[in-house]
Amino acid sequence: MLKKQVFKIETIRVPVKRSRTLDSEKVREIAESILEQGQITPVLVRTDADGFILVEGYHRLEALRALGEALIEGYLVQARKH
């Protein structure tokens, strides 16, 4: 069972391929929702030598960043072995 944790947003790196999928309207909508209800769905991250890599939740991460937040709730998952 995964345990929800709090991560510093600055320690989470977004993969280049994922960063090309940013939809600013979706970020705005999620930011509004977070202001009203808080962060409901945690992001997924995995460890990296320099911190963490985002696995899922790019728009949530960017919405919280846009709101000036320093922390985000998430789950630490294991990297899949190929």
Three-class secondary structure assignment of 4-60:
CEEEEHHHEECCHHHHCCCCHHHHHHHHHHHHHHCCCCCEEEEEECCEEEEEECHHH
Domain around 12: 5-76
Residue 82 within a domain: no
Answer whether residue 81 is part of any domain.
no
Rounded mean pLDDT of the chain?
93
Whether the model clears a pTM of 0.85, i.e. scores above it, the answer is: yes
Say if residue 67's pLDDT is above 70.
yes
Per the structure, the count of domains in the chain is 1
- Residue 39 domain-assigned (yes or no): yes
- Give me the CATH number covering residue 69: 3.90.1530.10
pLDDT in tens, 16-26: 888 888 999 99
Q: 8 and 43 in contact (C-beta within 8 Å)? A: no
Round to whole Å and give the CA distance between 7 and 11: 7
Q: Would 30 be classed as within a structural domain?
A: yes
pLDDT of res. 81: 56
What is the average pLDDT across 22-46? 96
What pLDDT is stored for residue 44 in this prediction? 97
In a domain, 42, yes or no: yes
